Amino acid sequence: MQVTRSEIRAHKRKIYISVLRFLLIIRKIHRYSKKGRSEKVRKLAEKNVEIFYRLGPTFIKFGQALSSRGDMFPQEYIDKMSELQDIVPPAPFEEIRKEIEEEYGRPLESVFEEFESEPIFSASLGQVHLAKLNGRRIVVKVLRPGIRRRVELDLGAIKSMKFLFKVLMGDEFYFMAQRMISTFERSIYDEMDYRKEARNLLEISGNLYSREKDLRIPGIYLDLVREKVLPMEYIPGIKITDVEKLKEKGFDLKSLASRVVEVFTTMVIKDNVFHADPHPGNIYVDEDGSLILYDFGMVGRLDKKTRRNLFLLYNALISKDPDMIIDAMIRLDALDPYADRYVIKKGIALALRSLEGQQVSEYEVRELVNFANRIFYEFPFRLPDNLALFIRMYVLMEGVALTLDPEFNMLATVGRILDSPGMRRELITSTLSSEFESIVSNYRAIMRIIPKLDDYLDMQSNYKREDKKIYDYMIPGSILVGSSILALSYPLISAVGFTLSALLFIYFYFK
Ligand SMILES: Nc1ncnc2c1ncn2[C@@H]1O[C@H](COP(=O)(O)OP(=O)(O)O)[C@@H](O)[C@H]1O
Ligand SMILES: [Mg+2]
C-alpha cells in the first residue's frame, strides 16, 4: 500500500496523542486501583481498549501483550485487555495477490491451482485463504501487506515517547515498560516471518508426534514457505470454545479441558520448545475428537534446568508445601533468596488456603502485613523473562478450560498429569543427569536463604547513602500477604501463574 508522507505524519501525530492518553489513563488506573475502586478502573480500561482498536494492528497486539502483565497492571485492566479481539478487516485481494507473486516471482495461478479471494480469517498480522495444490485443499497464510512498515512506524513512535513514560509513571514503571516493549518487539517481528513459524511448527510437531496420539498439527509445504506466505495442510475443526458444537458432537468437555492442559504442560516439562499461545483461536477439535493445534508464531524456550525447577514448583504447589514452594521459586529466580523465610512461608500458606477457597481472617492478614512491613525492605518476588511467556500460557489455557468446564481446577489437573509414569520418569532422568549440579546449587540455596538480617540492615544503610534512587522504591512487605486477598477476589488466576504474577501485582496494588 502506498502511503504519503503527510499521511505518515498524521498517523504519528495520532499515535503521540493516543500514547499520551494511554499513559494518563494508566496513571489514573493505578490511583483508583490503590483505592480499590474497581468500577472506575474497568471504565478506564474500556476507554483504553477503544484507543488501541482505533490505532490498529500493532496496538491490538500490544494490548494483548499487556494483558499478560499482571505485574504491571491491576486485574480489572488485565481482564479488559484480554478481551481485545484480534480481528481486522481483510486487505484487498489485489494487494494479497501482489504480495504472493512478489514472493514466488510468478503469477498466483502458476503456484496454486485455485486460490479463494475471500479469506477464512483475517487478523492484525495476516490472513488465511483456502486454496488448492496438487488437487488437495490447502490453506495459505499471507502476511498483511505493508504490515512490517506499519509496525516499524508504530513501534518507532512508541519508543520515541519513552521519556514520557518516565516523566508520567516514574522510574520503576519506565524500566518495566522498556523491557516489556523490547520483548514485544522481538516477538512481533518473529511472528511476521513465516519461515520462523514453519521452523517452530516442524520442531514442535516432531516432538509431539513422537509421543502424543489424538493430536494433529497441519503439515506444511516446505518448498513453498516464504517470509510472507505459509501454505499448509487444511485441517478443519471446531473451535475449542465452541461449546454448543462440541456438545452436539457428543464430546466430553471435561476431558477436552484436561487434554489441552496435558498437551501444553507436557510440552513445557519435556521439550525445549513450547507453543506459547494456547488461545481459543489456535486450538480446534477434529471430527474424531483429536485436538488440532494452529499458529506457531509465538513459542517459548526453557532450558533443562528451568524445566526441572518448574516441575519441582508444580509438585510443590500440588503438595501444598510452602517450604517446597519457596525452594522452587528461589531456584527459578522468582524469589529473592535473602528474603525472610518465615514471613514468606506464612504468606504462601495463607495464599494456598485462600486458593482452596478457605476463609482467611482479616486479623491474620493484618498481623502478617504488619510483621512483613518490619522485615522486608524490598519486594522479594520477581518475574524472570523466560517465565513471563509460561505464565501467559497458563492464564490463556485456564480461560479455555473454564469455558469447557466451569468446575475446572488447574492444580488438581496438573497434579494428575504429573502423576503419570512417563512424567515421573522424566523427572528422574533429568534429576540424575544433573545430580551433581543440583547438589551444589542446593547447598548454595540453603546457604543463601538463611535470613541475614544483619546483612540486610547493612545493605540498606549503604544503598541509602550511595544510591538513594533505587531504594525510593523500597516497599512494605505487606504485598506478599496481600496475595491471599487477591486469591479471594480472583480465584480464576491459574495456580502457577498465581504464585508468580499475582504476588507481583499485589505489590503495585498496595503501593
Ligand atoms: N491448517 C489450517 N487448517 C484449517 N484452518 C486453519 C489452518 N490454519 C489456520 N486456520 C484457521 O485460521 C485461523 C488463524 O490461523 P493462525 O495460524 O492462528 O493465524 P494468526 O497467526 O494470524 O493467529 C485459525 O484460528 C483457524 O481458524
Ligand atoms: Mg492465531
Convert the pLDDT of each residue in 210-223 to its tens digit: 999 899 999 999 99
293 forms beta bridges with 283
Nearest CA to ligand 1 atom 17: 295
Q: Which whole number is the average pLDDT over 144-163?
A: 93
Query: How many residues does this entry show for the chain?
Result: 511
Q: Which residues contact 156 (CB under 8 A, 6 or more apart)?
A: none
Q: Of the ligands numbered here, which is closest to the C-alpha atom of 191?
A: 1
Chain-centroid distance of CA 373 in Å reads: 31
All three cell numbers of 197, joined, read 513459524
Q: Which whole number is the average pLDDT over 386-395?
A: 80
137 forms beta bridges with 132
Choose between 346 and 507: higher pLDDT. Answer: 346
Convert the pLDDT of each residue in 237-285 to its tens digit: 999 999 999 999 999 999 999 999 999 999 998 998 999 999 899 999 9
Q: What integer pLDDT is reported at residue 405 of this predicted model?
A: 94
Q: For residue 294, report the distance from its CA to the centre of ligand 2, in Å.
A: 7
All three cell numbers of 38, joined, read 474497581
Computed over every residue of the chain, the mean pLDDT equals 82
Greatest mean pLDDT among 73-77, 401-405, 481-485 lies in: 401-405
Choose between 459 and 228: higher pLDDT. Answer: 228
What does DSSP say about strands 126-133 and 121-122: parallel, antiparallel, or unpaired? Answer: antiparallel
Are 71 and 176 in contact by the 8 Å Cβ rule? The answer is yes
Q: Which whole number is the average pLDDT over 83-95?
A: 91
Greatest mean pLDDT among 205-214, 332-341, 455-464, 502-511 lies in: 205-214
Q: Which residues contact 122 (CB under 8 A, 6 or more apart)?
A: 87, 88, 89, 90, 91, 128, 144
Domain residue spans in the chain? Answer: 5-86+151-191, 93-143+193-301, 305-383+429-510
CA nearest neighbour of 42 among 6, 2, 83: 83
Position 504 pLDDT exceeds 60: no
Give the three-state DSSP class for 320: coil
Greatest mean pLDDT among 61-70, 125-134, 312-321, 428-437 lies in: 125-134
All three cell numbers of 479, joined, read 504485598
Q: Give me the long-range contacts of 154-162 (CB less than 8 A, separation at least 24).
A: 154/15, 154/55, 154/56, 154/58, 154/59, 155/58, 155/181, 155/185, 155/188, 157/12, 157/15, 157/16, 157/19, 158/15, 158/19, 158/62, 161/16, 161/19, 161/20
* In the block, residue with C-alpha cell 501463574: 497
Q: What integer pLDDT is reported at residue 278 of this predicted model?
A: 93
Are 226 and 217 in contact by the 8 Å Cβ rule? The answer is no
Position 14 pLDDT exceeds 50: yes
Nearest CA to ligand 1 atom 21: 295
CA nearest neighbour of 246 among 294, 291, 293: 291
Indicate the range of 104-108, 294-298, 383-387, 399-403 predicted with least confidence. 383-387
Give the three-state DSSP class for 175: helix
Indicate the range of 66-80, 124-138, 376-390 predicted with least confidence. 376-390
Are 9 and 41 in contact by the 8 Å Cβ rule? The answer is no
Q: How confident is the model at residue 137 (pLDDT cuts 50, 70, 90)?
A: very high
Q: How confident is the model at residue 55 (pLDDT cuts 50, 70, 90)?
A: very high
Q: Which whole number is the average pLDDT over 466-473?
A: 34
Nearest CA to ligand 1 atom 25: 281
User: Angle 54-57-61 (CA atoms, 0-180°, nearest 5)?
Assistant: 105
All three cell numbers of 280, joined, read 481459543
CA nearest neighbour of 507 among 335, 363, 392, 361: 335
* Ligand 1, pocket-test mutation among 129, 141, 187, 294, most atoms within 8 A of CB: 294
Are 72 and 180 in contact by the 8 Å Cβ rule? The answer is yes
Are 233 and 288 in contact by the 8 Å Cβ rule? The answer is no
| pTM of the entire predicted model | 0.79
Report the sign of the C-alpha dihedral through residues 261, 267, 273, 275, in that order: negative
For the question of residue 303 being annotated catalytic, the response is no
For the chain, state the CA radius of gyration.
Answer: 24
Q: What integer pLDDT is reported at residue 228 of this predicted model?
A: 98
128 forms beta bridges with 121, 141
* Ligand 1, pocket-test mutation among 85, 128, 201, 279, most atoms within 8 A of CB: 128
Q: What integer pLDDT is reported at residue 387 of this predicted model?
A: 78
Given 277, 336, 340, 405, the catalytic residue = 277
Give the three-state DSSP class for 492: coil
Q: What integer pLDDT is reported at residue 42 of this predicted model?
A: 94
Position 163 pLDDT exceeds 90: no
Q: For residue 285, report the distance from its CA to the centre of ligand 2, in Å.
A: 15
Q: Which whole number is the average pLDDT over 438-451?
A: 47
Q: How confident is the model at residue 433 (pLDDT cuts 50, 70, 90)?
A: low
Q: What integer pLDDT is reported at residue 479 of this predicted model?
A: 41
Q: Which helix (H) or strand (E) holds 480?
A: helix 478-489
Q: What integer pLDDT is reported at residue 203 of this predicted model?
A: 97
Q: What integer pLDDT is reported at residue 115 of this predicted model?
A: 98
Q: Distance of CA 411 to CAs 231, 273, 491, Å?
A: 38, 23, 12
* In the block, residue with C-alpha cell 480500561: 45
Task: Return the percentage of the chain with pLDDT > 90, whole number.
Answer: 46
Q: Which residues contact 116 (CB under 8 A, 6 or more apart)?
A: 129, 130, 131
Position 97 pLDDT exceeds 60: yes
Give the three-state DSSP class for 137: strand
Q: Name every protein residue with a CB atom under 6 angstroms from any ligand 1 atom.
A: 121, 123, 125-126, 128, 139, 141, 218, 232-236, 281-282, 294-295, 297
Cβ burial, residue 320 (10 Å; 0-12/13-18/19+): middle
Q: Which whole number is the average pLDDT over 127-155?
A: 96
93-143+193-301 is a CATH 3.30.70.1230 domain: no
All three cell numbers of 199, joined, read 521452523
All three cell numbers of 13, joined, read 501525530
Q: What integer pLDDT is reported at residue 442 of this predicted model?
A: 52
Q: Of the ligands numbered here, which is closest to the C-alpha atom of 127?
A: 1
Q: How confident is the model at residue 385 (pLDDT cuts 50, 70, 90)?
A: low
Give the three-state DSSP class for 222: helix
Amino acid at 414: V
User: Angle 128-129-134 (CA atoms, 0-180°, nearest 5)?
Assistant: 125
Distance from C-alpha of 270 to C-alpha of 268, rounded to nearest angstrom:
6
Task: Return the percentage of the chain with pLDDT > 70, whole number.
Answer: 78
Position 126 pLDDT exceeds 70: yes
CB neighbours of residue 250 within 10 Å: 7
Position 443 pLDDT exceeds 60: no
Indicate the range of 163-172, 300-309, 401-410, 457-466 predicted with least confidence. 457-466
Indicate the range of 33-42, 47-56, 98-107, 292-301 predicted with least confidence. 33-42
All three cell numbers of 483, joined, read 496475595
Indicate the range of 192-196, 302-306, 378-382, 450-454 predicted with least confidence. 450-454
Q: Which atom of ligand 1 is nearest to the CA of 281?
A: 25
Convert the pLDDT of each residue in 173-206 to its tens digit: 888 888 889 889 999 999 999 999 999 999 999 9
138 forms beta bridges with 131, 233
Q: Which atom of ligand 1 is nearest to the CA of 294?
A: 17
